[in-house]
Chains A and B, each alone.
Chain A
Amino acid sequence: MSPSVRLQEMIRVIRGARTQGEERGVIQRECAAIRAQFRQADNGTRSHNLAKLLYVHMLGYPAHFGQMECVRLIASPRYNEKRVGYLGAMMLLDEKQDASLLITNSIKNDLSHSSQYVQSLALCTLACMGSAEMCRDLAPEIDRLLRASNSYIKKKAALCAVHMVRKVPELGELFTPAARSLLSEKNHGVLHGAVVLITELCERNPDTLEQFRKVVPELVLMMKGLVMSGYSPEHNVAGISDPFLQVRILRLLRILGRNNDTASDAMNDLLAQVATNTDSSKTAGSAVLYETVLTVMDIKSESGLRVLAVNILGRFLLNNDRNIRYISMTSLQKIVQTDHNAVQRHRGTIVDCLKDQDASVKRRALELSLALVSAVNIRSLMKELLLFLSSCPPELRAHTTSGIFNAAERYAPSQRWHIDTILHVLTTAGGDVRDETVPNLIQLITTATELHCYTVHKLYRALITDISVQSLVQVACWCIGEYGDLLLRGECEETEPVQVTEDDVLDALETVLQSHMSSPATRGFALTATMKLSTRITHNVDRIRSIVSIYGSCIDVELQQRAVEYNALFKKYDHMRAAVLERMPVIDKSSPGHTNGESAGGTIKELEPTKLTQEIVFPQEPSNQVCDLLDLLGGSGEPFQPSPSLSSTAPGPASSTAGGDLLDLLGGLDVTPAPPSVTVYEKNGVTLKLQTDTQTDTGMTVTLTATNSTDGDITGLTLQAAVPKSVQLQMKAPSGDVIPAHGLGQVTQTVLLNNPNKVSLKIRVRVCYTSQSSVCQDTVQIDSFPSTAW
């Protein structure tokens, strides 16, 4: 009766358990029995118990109580117990466990055991989980075994040495002489180990690399022998003699030949021979060819050889086997920068691979296609990429769109083509584009002045077809708002004009405004576009006025704010409306921070007054008009009173999407991000938020915003602030002292701080208010500030 039946029986019982709970029960009983057995004296079943424990461990259950048993078994004189003990050590112990140190001595003894199988157990375990200290301790032993033992032990000692060098690179010097001498062995296992060891030594130490360059001729001979040798039953795999050893030798040659002409020359012939003679109908041959190609491309090879290598990759591309196509594309990706023209020749096949079923192959083909885009092939390649985009898997879409945009930007043959391409991408995959696409596209459109008519026509058509793609809708709304007059004129050179009335256009914009699919940012775009049309159309201004006033009571605070201001523009400031809503000049993409039209030439930019940051620049306008505009906010007489210094704590996601902020259209990517606000006090439904804005080196503006979520108004709100001694404090007048209920309004107060000594800033705020006829007073200390102030 074989002793391991008991193990197999336990396995059977565990597998017979019908539920997870039953299995756990069985395993708990077994583990208890095993633990009991471990505590007993040696009764000959220890190895079986440990084996059972290892099975349980593989199922995922804890088995740490077996660690000491591993140590004991390793020290046992019996081979079968040692064997299981070492297996347990490899599975349960690693260098982080303390118990692993205890086996160092056993390993040391076993390395000099009389039986080579015991030695091999020790070597194997050492190579698997030997820690740095163990490696340092036992390195001389390994060196001894590398020199004087039989080939069975030599090959294992070689790989053990590899592990040691990886763990403790200084040991490399110790093993270098032995490694050199191993190359003259005949046994393939030893040769393979020697080549791996030399590769590792050369990779870590440039001096050793120099030393080993001398063995290149020897390696070349070895390789030739393998390639030209006849059939060897022991090592033959699909007609290739020992492909494993061949690949390793090629890899070592690659390292030795890199950046070195003499070494590269010495291996040129060999590489050509391997490349031409290896039969690649099966995977083994392809593996060798693949490694050869990698070596050729990496060393200083002749141009003829490089062409041969690229042709091999091209042949791989046409192979039926997907793996081989994948491999060839990976390699082509590596060399596309250096040998661009050579890879261009295979562009057709690569583009065909875009249509492959396999996702990995598709991904590789996409990356390679994007790398192959050039001014010459941009039109045809873009067609293929756009086709790919319509059917590509979702995980690749974002990458594809950004790749297409990059390529279009670099190589666009004409502006119209560029705009068409971007529009095509937005229609196909608008949901997967980057946020910057909208402002980038808008900037592009403004620069293409001759194409305004064409663009607005195209976008209008796209808008009436589908309003679900937010980025496209945003751009379309902006264009219609800006160039609506061209649309209404009903004539266009580049494309067939649409015959629309003003009502049609306003209908389209209103659909966007009212649709549930539109994000708040998009609705902002639509509202502003509607407003802009008021100066560009003649008959339906009243309709616009009514739309704008309806949105004056919209729940979305951002929209409400806009509507209110536009309303004011109609009422009080009608004389300025035309100037404010004039056509925008071309946006200069490269100038930084043009949040307010520093690039403008004298016209007032279309302002979104609440978005004014402190760096306002008003070119050449009389100051009273400027102040009037600012007054727009204070004098509007609405319950909602934002203060001028309220930097963009725009409610909702409007500020986070790049397109939602009108100012972003001017600046594109360079608008300073809204400083974060921190809730510092929250009690009785009153919330106090703090926001910082660093203006100068020592000066800082802090804005306190109070909101009220209770059912009744909060009255008599006062805020008092105290700061450390060296800091100067100036509190501006609050915007009010009544906070409306239900979060319908807020009160803000600005505090100017001057910190000339740059001490660590703390501020203590006392809040007093009356809520539901009871007076409340609270003090809050704020020690850390949300912005990166100092």
Chain B
Amino acid sequence: MLRFLLLFSRQGKLRLQKWFTPVTEREKKKVIREMTLMVLARPPRSCNFLHWRDLKIVYKRYASLYFCCGLEDQDNELLTLEVLHRYVELLDKYFGNVCELDIIFNFEKAYFILDEFLMGGEILETSKTAVGIAMEEAETLQEVTPPPPPPPLTHTHGHLSLTHLPKYVNMFSVLFTDNGGVYE
């Protein structure tokens, strides 16, 4: 089973963390720090597998984000690379040309997608389309019961729409040139 899944940027900022075993806050921070240090120190065209404590670490870089997970001894590392790739594909399908900003500003959606794909450290759904369908239906369910309108904003800033924000490099398009073009 997977023990944890972390997403962090090139600068070491955490974008998503999923822990599949009970871990104390202190231990979580420690693991995050060590993973970040280890993975960011790797040269560009190196092997995607590492050994750390008694776990195997598999990481993959997509544009500006590193996807890093810890596996147990029995798990298949090559398959985990495929798992990471599948997750990126799901994000891409949902957000449409996903980039790091999408994951930052819609982190709860990223978690919901993850929860439809992995559970308890194991793969939940192997079909490419089923996860997307489940997300859509959940969204409709969410809209069916609309919340009452929010009270007036107490912030001093005005509303800013997201179109003002610059889009970072599209994560998915970089897939084709990353790591010597391993994927189709």
Contacts and interface: CB of A to CB of B under 8 A. Distances in A.
A95 B120 contact: no
A323 B81 contact: yes
A162 B47 CA distance: 32
Interface in A358-378: 358-361
Given A87-B108, A160-B120, A282 B184 contact: yes
Given A9-B160, A79-B141, A360 B47 contact: yes
A287 B82 contact: yes
A636 to B, nearest CB: 56
Contacts of A60: 14, 29
Given A11-B105, A80-B142, A83-B142, A47 B147 contact: yes
Given A326-B49, A360-B49, A8 B119 contact: no
A245 B122 CA distance: 11
Nearest to A284: B82
B119 A323 contact: no
Contacts of B126: 188-189, 192, 235, 242, 244-245
A283 B76 contact: no
Interface stretch (A50-58, A677-685, A693-701, A727-735): A50-58
Contact of B20 (A55, A128, A323): A128
Contacts of B138: 79, 83, 117
A55 B134 CA distance: 24
Nearest to A239: B184
Given A117-B137, A326-B47, A189 B125 contact: yes
B137 A283 contact: no
A44 B145 contact: no
Contacts of A606: none
B33 to A, nearest CB: 10
A201 to B, nearest CB: 14
Interface string B23-64: 110000100000000000001011111110000000000000
B157 A94 contact: no
B169 interface: no
Interface residues of B, number: 69
Most B-side CB within 10 Å, residue of A123, A159, A162, A282 = A159
B175 to A, nearest CB: 13
Contacts of B151: 43, 45
A11 B162 CA distance: 12
A15 B168 CA distance: 15
B176 interface: no
A446 interface: no
Given A94-B23, A242-B126, A83 B112 contact: yes
Contact of B124 (A12, A58, A159, A360): A159
Nearest to B104: A11
Given A124-B115, A189-B125, A287-B78, A321 B182 contact: yes
A33 B122 contact: no
Interface string B111-134: 110010001101111111110001
A235 B126 CA distance: 7
Contacts of A237: 82, 86
A60 B130 CA distance: 33
B107 interface: yes
A417 interface: no
Contacts of A94: 22-23
A33 B180 CA distance: 49
Given A9-B155, A9-B157, A9-B159, A192 B137 contact: no
A3 interface: yes
Contacts of B46: 322, 357-360
A156 interface: yes
Interface string A253-294: 000000000000000000000000000001110110011000
A189 B17 contact: no
Given A48-B150, A291-B79, A234 B134 contact: no
A235 B128 contact: yes
B83 interface: yes
Contacts of B74: 251
A163 interface: yes
Given A160-B119, A323-B48, A327-B77, A87 B111 contact: yes
Given A94-B22, A282-B183, A6 B150 contact: yes
A84 interface: yes
B178 to A, nearest CB: 13
A5 interface: yes
Contacts of B105: 8, 11-12
Interface string A624-664: 00000000000000000000000000000000000000000
A611 to B, nearest CB: 42
A115 interface: yes
Contacts of B127: 188-189, 234-235
Contact of A80 (B82, B147, B154, B157): B147
Most A-side CB within 10 Å, residue of B79, B129, B141 = B79
B148 interface: yes
A318 to B, nearest CB: 16
A54 B107 CA distance: 9
Given A58-B107, A79-B142, A327-B78, A196 B122 contact: yes
13 contacts: A13-B157, A79-B144, A128-B119, A162-B120, A189-B126, A192-B125, A235-B128, A243-B82, A244-B123, A287-B78, A322-B48, A327-B78, A360-B49
Given A9-B155, A80-B145, 7 more contacts: A59-B14, A60-B14, A128-B119, A237-B82, A247-B76, A251-B76, A323-B81
Interface of A: 3-6, 8-9, 11-13, 15, 33, 43-45, 47-48, 51, 54-55, 58-60, 78-81, 83-84, 87, 94-96, 115, 117, 120, 123-124, 127-129, 152, 155-156, 159-160, 162-163, 166, 188-189, 192-193, 196, 233-235, 237-238, 242-245, 247, 251, 282-284, 286-287, 290-291, 321-327, 357-361
6 smallest A-B Cβ distances: which pairs? A287-B78, A44-B148, A127-B120, A287-B79, A163-B120, A322-B47
